[in-house]
Structure 1
């Protein structure tokens, strides 16, 4: 079958190469186009490019390997591409979008966490507290929230964070 003066295999191959190049460009410059995916909901650019890639690859392979009618090959390729696109969305894109964005933390997220004073916190001065995190240990300057001395090695509870300084109180477990 010919379309636009070219064989259908050539059109499938051109679509495959163009969608592959666009996919690579999207990987490199995808942050610029990220708003398009948010605005359109299910029509994410990755899904559109994946559909074109699956469709053209399936059509090219079926044209080369089988002797089916070209119209039937287009229908079969579209169905296969749609199924693979749905599977890609369900099993890859949706879990990735709901995954943790990074292992970083905000100072506000430190409030309410427990830590350990590694340097004694004097009554009206600063010491140092270390807090265990998923990404490692967080070490921050600390001051006593109640203006009392907190000995080094004791467990503390972060009450507030102001200007990069943790304001802590000694942690007293209520169920001991």
Structure 2
């Protein structure tokens, strides 16, 4: 059994080293492996990282038990397998599972900004661009903004995103139109966005 233990120990370290050095290159291969494992419907109980760690721990425990414990072959293999399985499960529960859950996308499309309110961090000059702060879910984002009507809007003004243009620039209008024009028509707001008559 010692050759098997050494093979698992050295092989596990080699796979880990290869993943560290050329991990980006092998990412597609591991994704394919994940896809194959999902096709087997093993659920979340199996992942390549935990498996490599389990095999490495099996080999290391086997080498140590063979060298120092003086056990018979069957108990030695049983303890080494137990150490490998427990180590793989602990790694999966403590590290892999939380990392998979943190990878859940919190992304959103720029088109989702339409209708959101925000505040200008940088004023929008007439015919120019500024910056608007908009909250999207738990995120606070800074986006390029332009005036929907073409009129200047000062810094700190509460605005609504009327539309998003093809370049991803947010076209905004002030929420309180009385401060910027005598009538909503001068500001250029659609009737549904007028906050005061």
Task: Place the TM-score, normalised by the shorter chain, in its bin.
Answer: 0.7 to 0.9
Q: Is the 8 A contact 2:143 2:170 kept in 1?
A: no
Give SS of 1:158's match.
strand
Match of 1:13 among 6, 9, 12: 6
Q: Please state how far the C-alpha of 1:35 moved relative to its aligned partner.
A: 2.8
Q: Please state how far the C-alpha of 1:65 moved relative to its aligned partner.
A: 1.5
Match of 1:35 among 32, 36, 43: 32
C-alpha separation in 1, matches of 2:175 and 2:72: 76
- Cα pair distance change 1:108/1:30, threshold 3 Å: farther
Q: Please state how far the C-alpha of 1:114 moved relative to its aligned partner.
A: 2.0
Q: Please state how far the C-alpha of 1:99 moved relative to its aligned partner.
A: 0.7
Q: CA RMSD in A?
A: 3.1
- 1:116-135 to structure 2, matched below 5 A, reads 116-122=120-126, 125-131=127-133
Match of 2:16 among 23, 44, 49: 23
Structure-1 residue corresponding to 2:158: 155
Is 1:75–2:78 an aligned residue pair? yes
C-alpha separation in 2, matches of 1:169 and 1:38: 47
TM-score after normalising by structure 1:
0.74
Match of 1:99 among 87, 102, 112: 102
Q: Please state how far the C-alpha of 1:166 moved relative to its aligned partner.
A: 0.8
Residue correspondences, number: 162
C-alpha separation in 1, matches of 2:96 and 2:162: 38
TM-score after normalising by structure 2:
0.67
Q: Is the 8 A contact 1:117 1:151 kept in 2?
A: no
C-alpha separation in 2, matches of 1:19 and 1:13: 10
Match of 1:143 among 129, 147, 150: 147
For structure 1, list consecutive stretches of 5 or more residues without a partner in the other structure.
1-7
For structure 2, list consecutive stretches of 5 or more residues without a partner in the other structure.
39-44, 177-194
Per-residue CA shift, 1:94-121, capped at 9, x if unaligned?
1101114689875345553623151334
- Cα pair distance change 1:171/1:57, threshold 3 Å: farther
More helix as a share of residues = 2
